[in-house]
Amino acid sequence: MREDVAQLVLVYGRRRVGKTFLINQYYGNSFSFKLTGAYNKPKADQLHAFISELNRKTHKKMEAPSSWVQAFEMLREYIESQDPNKKCVVFFDEMPWLDTHKSGFLSAFEYFWNDFGSSVDNLVFIVCGSATSWLVDNIEHNKGGLFNRQTCKLFLEPFSLSETEEYLISKGIHWSRYDITECYMIMGGIPYYLSLLDKEMSYLQNIDYLFFRKKAELWDEFDHLYNTLFTKGENYISVVHELSKKKNGLSREEISKETGLALNGILSKIIKNLVDSGFVRENQFFGKKKKDTLYQLADYYSSFYFHYIWDNKGRDEHFWSNTLDAPVRKTWAGNMFEQVCKDHIKQIKQKIGILGILSEESTWYIKADKKLHMSGAQVDLIIDRRDRVIDLCEMKFSLGEYSIDKEYDQKLRKRIETFRKDSKTKKAVQIVFVTTYGVESNQYSGIVQKQVTLEDLFKEIIE
């Protein structure tokens, strides 16, 4: 808003992350012109919405344009009529939904911006949408008329644990950090989901009410989530479903095999779109090239949906409260805590004093090999530091201090030895434990060189 040349601002991020809310709040919901795309509506309906908004702004009764070229010409005339000494803010929300099949929307917008918009010094044009893949391909990485044209891009990420706690407190919700973390494992830091929580209910009651009650608000959110973001959403759901079964992820070839989708450019595009949208994480394998990348489901809500809702219609409405001590629930929590840690790498690095040191995060595993006298081993998070130290991170979600016994101590020592042999690294290797309440001090706890607790994951980053 402080710049003195035309601005094309790209705002994108996962559905329900609060993009529209953020923009509306900043501008007080007051724009020179605002248009919101309608999901799965034809061009005629979109153009009707356009002229309705323009007529409200101009107090005229103009007829709907027959094409987007004509619509943008009308928008140009409107912008030219505005005070040149004041900022003219135009907001196109859910822009991907305006670009319907054979509508000519994108080419019309390209011409509008290159021929006119980019030269209007007081114009701030904001484009926004949840279909991140469309915005990345057609605006950010556009190879045609919009190539390198956006002046600012904002990828809106979900809340961190710290921001989630701050938001819940603002709603009058005062839960333990343990409960907030479990809630985070289900909803992630998605503001809309968090906004549905009721301060009069406990964490367990809220999950039952929002997910397992009949016609609950978040019971059928899943179908809307993928089908409104991606063309042929069933293929995306198929990929995400298979990823939900493997906590460490799958390679591109394994995804093809498990889903039955051909190993071609279309599958690569699906995976890329899921990564760009924040649903899938690229899990680099230690010491390997990019082609060996594992793709891991990173969206908490999707993971929870597949584990507990996908094929369990008619389940007990108090299921979450009634399965508090179930072993399968503890396994789920342990796996999801690893995801939480991967989303809070900066907090981990801050606690162990390496926030300013460049590092690469990856995963590693090896199958047992009797001929080479190697036992199988796995590390879900490795921090390979530029200061010639490698941190092997153990992540444990428990109700109290985590106790290392003799058997686990030997397992950790073998893991270090196996990692050294397999990686052939000459760097120093150390064990870092990330736990809820720390490691119990005993005769075996000395193997842990650095500790990170839940309290540390809730801390804000001090750059």
Give tens-digit pLDDT for 255-312: 999 999 999 999 999 999 999 888 999 988 887 766 678 999 999 999 999 999 887 6
Asked if the model's pLDDT at residue 39 lies above 80, the reply is yes
- What stretch of H or E contains 296? strand 294-297
Per-residue pLDDT band for 61 (boundaries 50, 70, 90) equals very high
Would you list the DSSP string of 63-122? PPPSSHHHHHHHHHHHHHTS-TTS-EEEEEETHHHH--TT--HHHHHHHHHHHTGGG-TT
Query: For residue 198, what are the CA distances in angstroms to 221, 266, 318?
Result: 18, 42, 16
Evaluate whether residue 463 is within a structural domain: no
What is the β-pairing status of strands 152-155 and 33-36?
unpaired
Tokens of 265: 């450019």
Q: Read off the pLDDT of each residue in 320-335 and give the average, rounded to a whole number.
A: 91
Question: Which residue type does 182 have?
Answer: E
- What stretch of H or E contains 395? strand 389-396
CATH number at residue 125: 3.40.50.300
Give tens-digit pLDDT for 188-213: 999 999 999 999 999 999 999 999 98
Looking at the structure, tell me whether residues 130 and 271 fall in a common domain.
no
Question: Which residue type does 429 have?
Answer: V
Beta bridge partners of 452: 434
Q: Which range among 1-10, 181-190, 293-302, 314-323 shows the weakest confidence by mean pLDDT?
A: 314-323
Looking at the structure, tell me whether residues 27 and 130 fall in a common domain.
yes
Evaluate whether residue 59 is within a structural domain: yes
Number of DSSP helices (H) and strands (E) in the chain, helices first: 20, 12
Looking at the structure, tell me whether residues 354 and 428 fall in a common domain.
yes
Per-residue pLDDT band for 337 (boundaries 50, 70, 90) equals very high
- In percent, the amount of the chain with pLDDT more than 70 equals 95
Q: Read off the pLDDT of each residue in 128-140 and give the average, rounded to a whole number.
A: 83
CB 415 within 8 A of CB 377: yes
Asked if the model's pLDDT at residue 242 lies above 90, the reply is yes
CB 344 within 8 A of CB 161: yes
Asked if the model's pLDDT at residue 229 lies above 60, the reply is yes
Burial, 280: exposed, middle or buried (Cβ in 10 Å; 0-12, 13-18, 19+)?
buried
Tokens of 181: 């973390």
Looking at the structure, tell me whether residues 318 and 362 fall in a common domain.
no
Looking at the structure, tell me whether residues 266 and 142 fall in a common domain.
no
Looking at the structure, tell me whether residues 20 and 137 fall in a common domain.
yes
Residue 254 sits in which domain range?
A: 223-308
pLDDT at 220: 78
Looking at the structure, tell me whether residues 229 and 121 fall in a common domain.
no
Burial, 106: exposed, middle or buried (Cβ in 10 Å; 0-12, 13-18, 19+)?
buried
Query: What's the rounded Cα separation, in Å, for the pair 373 and 418?
Result: 10
* Residue 35, C-beta contacts closer than 8 angstroms, at least 6 positions apart: 49, 50, 53, 91, 92, 93, 98
Handedness of CA 177, 179, 182, 183 (dihedral sign): negative
Q: Read off the pLDDT of each residue in 202-225 and give the average, rounded to a whole number.
A: 89
What are the strands of the beta sheet with 359-366, ordered from one edge? Answer: 359-366, 377-385, 389-396, 428-435, 448-452
SS3 10: strand
Pick the last residue of a domain from 105, 126, 155: 155
Query: Taking the CA atoms of the chain, what radius of gyration do you get in angstroms?
Result: 25
Query: What's the structural domain count of the chain?
Result: 4
Asked if the model's pLDDT at residue 147 lies above 60, the reply is no
Give tens-digit pLDDT for 399-443: 999 999 999 999 999 999 999 988 999 999 999 999 999 999 999
pLDDT at 192: 96
Evaluate whether residue 412 is within a structural domain: yes
Asked if the model's pLDDT at residue 60 lies above 60, the reply is yes
Evaluate whether residue 2 is within a structural domain: no
SS3 449: strand
Asked if the model's pLDDT at residue 314 lies above 60, the reply is no
Burial, 310: exposed, middle or buried (Cβ in 10 Å; 0-12, 13-18, 19+)?
middle
Q: What are the contacts of 351-357 at 24+ separation with CB within 8 A?
A: 351/450, 351/452, 351/456, 351/459, 352/391, 352/432, 352/450, 352/452, 354/383, 354/385, 354/387, 355/461, 355/462, 355/463, 357/385, 357/386, 357/387
Pick the last residue of a domain from 138, 155, 172: 155
Evaluate whether residue 462 is within a structural domain: no
Average of per-residue pLDDT values in the chain: 92
pLDDT at 231: 81
Per-residue pLDDT band for 371 (boundaries 50, 70, 90) equals low
Looking at the structure, tell me whether residues 70 and 132 fall in a common domain.
yes
Residue 292 DSSP symbol: G
Evaluate whether residue 73 is within a structural domain: yes
Give the phi and the psi of residue 366 in degrees, each rounded to 5: -145, 140
Query: What's the rounded Cα separation, in Å, for the pair 362 and 351?
Result: 19
pLDDT at 333: 95
Looking at the structure, tell me whether residues 34 and 139 fall in a common domain.
yes
Looking at the structure, tell me whether residues 198 and 317 fall in a common domain.
yes
CB atoms within 10 A of CB 29: 12
pLDDT at 227: 84
* Residue 378, C-beta contacts closer than 8 angstroms, at least 6 positions apart: 248, 363, 364, 365, 366
pLDDT at 283: 87
Evaluate whether residue 433 is within a structural domain: yes
pLDDT at 141: 72
pLDDT at 137: 81
Pick the last residue of a domain from 100, 125, 155: 155
Looking at the structure, tell me whether residues 42 and 120 fall in a common domain.
yes
Looking at the structure, tell me whether residues 264 and 280 fall in a common domain.
yes
Evaluate whether residue 351 is within a structural domain: yes
* Residue 359, C-beta contacts closer than 8 angstroms, at least 6 positions apart: 349, 383, 384, 385, 386
- In percent, the amount of the chain with pLDDT more than 90 equals 76
CATH number at residue 287: 1.10.10.10
